Amino acid sequence: MTDLCRWEFPTLPKYKFTPATTSANAAPVIAYTRPSIRYGPRPRRTMQHHDHVLTLACPDRTGIVYRVSGLLFELGCNILDAQQFGDEETGRFFLRVHFAAPALLTADRIHDEIASLGEEFAMDWQLHDARRRARLLVLVSRQGHCLNDLLFRSHSRQLPVDIAAIASNHADFAALAHSFQVPFHHLPVDADTRDAQEQRVLDLIERERIDLVVLARYMQILSPRLCAALNGRAINIHHSFLPSFKGAKPYHQAHARGVKIIGATAHYVTSDLDEGPIIEQDVARVDHAMTPRELIRLGSDTESLVLARAVRRHVEHRILLNGHRTVVFR
């Protein structure tokens, strides 16, 4: 068996002992001479692997995990992580498998083998390159805290994404985008220009090969046409704990009702306003003495955190749709 990691050392000479005395009656002093050691090059792996993520949903039945894991074993793959969920209400089974494939095993070969298994089990499945960084388009209006947070996390490699472009109906954050060397597109919109503006958004998505569109406090309602085009690949952050306080000014709505917690919700975009499948939520405690302005300030931190979590779950392929709900593997 070939060693995967090998250090090569030269033959080491023995330490030399040199007696020395300072006087006739003094005890001898031993001087140690340490030989120089030259180390060989750093070890290199003799084999390289390519990581993939397989996600699937299908009618629940016995043998699914056995057959999937058996197929990967036969292909010489190593399962790094696996998570599963069986929904008793819908009778659906969900599985996410992160595995390493040998370098000589092509993605096309894996795809063909899984396709054959998928037909047998009526699977809705996808195979992803686990090391590919997703390309994002961020849509924003005049609240920039979520945008700024995503830019920082991307720039510092805390999120495995590349923000390919920023688009806004206002020019407020052009300088911020420039500071991170991200192209900024000012796309103003009104009732008369909405169709043309949304077409420019679609053109930008195609041109920049966008994987995910993030509505980071983009205060425009998308048309059904645009929602359909972005089905399953657009995430919105809403500044309330949905399904409470949908629509405009949710913090003011929450204050008027005297709530004791406020929240934020990240969900997939659908043509039904603020009703898409929920991905991530969190809350913050408030009290009777806080004004709507203070709720907004406190809630902005929660919004940024919730949106970043949702984006991470999506680009790591941890979300599967289950009707109007989501299965989110942590």
Any idea which residues carry the catalytic annotation?
274
Residues ≥6 apart with Cβ < 8 Å to 216:
138, 139, 140, 146, 147, 150, 237, 307
| φ/ψ of residue 82, rounded to 5 | -145, 135
Tokens, residue 260? 């004791």
| Chain-centre distance for alpha carbon 261 | 27
Tokens, residue 109? 């070969």
- Helix and strand numbers (H, E) in the chain are 8, 15
Cβ-contact 270, 227 below 8 angstroms: yes
- Look-up: residue for tokens 């709720």? 295
Strand partners, 162: 135
CA distances from 299 to 243, 311, 318 (A): 16, 18, 26
- What's at 28, amino acid-wise? P
Cβ-contact 93, 85 below 8 angstroms: yes
